[in-house]
Amino acid sequence: MDTITIGDGPLTIEQVVAVARGGARVRLGAAARERIAAAHDVIAAVIAAEKVAYGVTTGFGQLATTHIPVEKVRELQENLVRSHAVGVDVPLPRDVVRAAMTIRLNTMARGHSGVRLEVAELAAALLNADLVPWVPSRGSLGASGDLAPSAHVVLAMMGEGELLTEGGGREPSGPALRAAGLAPLTLEAKEGLSLLNGTQFMAAIGCLAVVDGEALLDTADLIGAMSLEGLRASVGPFQERIQALRPIPGQLATAANVRAATQGSAIMLSHLNCDKVQDAYSLRCIPQVHGACRDALAWLRRVVGVEVDAVTDNPIVFPDSGEIISAGNFHGEPLALALDLAAMSVAEIASISERRTFRLLTSSLSELPAFLTRDSGLNNGYMIAQYTAAALVAENKVLCHPASVDSIPTSGDQEDHVSMGMTAALKLEQVVRNAQTVLAIEALCAAQAIDLLAPLEPGGGTGHGRAVVRRLAPTLERDRYLAPEIEAVTAAVAAGEFAAVARGLETG
């Protein structure tokens, strides 16, 4: 099993995902340990001198001017965590929580938080033991970061919260910590604040959305190419010389993917000289639509790539000067805007996919049997599967209302503009899931269309895409229970099976 060293180099999206989903272990690097100790020395000096510092010897938010006696600083931090653990609704998945914990561990390793080394070590130990806090999904406004979900993590570290079981239930964290040989955390000065402030949950969902979204884009290119074949559309608009006249990066990449997927296609060769002048936009404009969405998702990668290795704590400790400065790096606006745009881009992928599915099912548009069944009337074929795709596309449209344009002031108007970045992240998470299902439905229909064109054979890439479908769902000869097949192909989309085919092709 891989081990990722935290703090001796920049943390990457891929490393976060490796811990979140791949079971990679973590350890604190030597340089990180030195930085953590140096920052803690600054906090210790403030306590020893009984100086005033926000969140160390003062209250929080609107209570920032309330002085807290030194003998009460531990109680201050514990009260902070308990009062902020107010999340509601279904729990976040294990991979999201593990990703968020990894990002927060890296923030501590940067040496500007002021926590003791044992705090970071406990966070690493929880990850390595796969003890995942139970964290309700709703409650964060994205400034001062992800306060409520983070508080549930810290409460679990204190032995007062709960852990997420393998089956999705919850259990008290205290006994589980003790069974793993871990002592519950007792907070000292600033430690509760250091563990709560920050964008780690927004960034965690952003990390997973980046890798899932990029796989979705490659999947859409391959499945779109399968639909091109099933509809006997032209690959002419995908020529490299056409894309060169508008060299938008995503457009170039998608066109190359489609060319590679359809290379050697007997279906394409069979209608080179047909009298069709041009295809519908959902076919002809795949490079322009998929490509624009690809570029929008690239912005999220850039933003999240910075965020996972950033310091989003508050106040920020500077060991070199001994200063403790209250600032605003916890504000989630950069993420919120990028997450909103990513949701719109993924929704567009689902939207154009559903249009291709509709064409495949409509005999007047496809020259294929109605609803892709040879005995329509007695059989309904994939008619109602398109309804499901349409319903999910409609849901995505609602979810794409931008969260980042909203703000509800809190904490007596001290926090008078918040990002709503976690809302944007949760919406994106659902849009991605919906789009995976919409593409799965298109894949089922495209594979059926290709089968109906036999004995003509598809291209190398599209043939492999059809094979993924056929491993999970046989050719539809008569009506049968389709929901399990949609679910199985959706799982293949989510697992990156179609993306792997697309990425293994020689582009050109």
Secondary-structure percent of the chain, ordered helix, strand, coil, rounded to 5: 60, 5, 35
Q: Which two tokens stand for residue 469?
A: 């479908």
54 classed as catalytic: yes
Q: Which residues, including other chains, have CB under 8 Å from residue 212's CB and lie 6 or more apart?
A: 432, 436, 494
Are 196 and 154 in contact, with CB atoms under 8 Å apart? yes
Distance CA 29, CA 464 (A): 43
3-state secondary structure 216-238: HHHHHHHHHHHHHHHCCCCCHHH
Catalytic residue among 54, 281, 387, 481: 54
Intra-chain end-to-end CA distance of the chain, in Å: 36
Beta bridge partners of 138: 88
Q: Which two tokens stand for residue 328?
A: 């605003």
**Listed residue (303, 316, 294, 301) closest to 419, CA to CA:** 303
Q: Which two tokens stand for residue 158?
A: 């204190």
Are 189 and 77 in contact, with CB atoms under 8 Å apart? yes
- What is the number of residues in the chain? 508
Cβ density class 313-324: b for 16+ within 10 Å, e for less? bbbbbebeeeeb
Task: Give strand ranges (E) for 147-244.
Answer: 162-164, 170-172
Distance CA 463, CA 225 (A): 10
3-state secondary structure 31-76: HHHHHHHHHHHHHHHHHHHCCCCCCCCECCHHHCCCECCHHHHHHH
**Listed residue (280, 259, 441) closest to 350, CA to CA:** 441
DSSP H or E segment with residue 4: strand 3-6
Collect contacts of 426-430 with beta carbons under 8 A, ≥24 apart: 426/137, 426/138, 426/205, 427/339, 427/340, 427/343, 427/399, 427/400, 427/403, 428/205, 428/206, 428/209, 428/339, 428/340, 428/342, 428/343, 428/346, 429/205, 429/208, 429/209, 430/395, 430/399
Residues known to be catalytic: 54
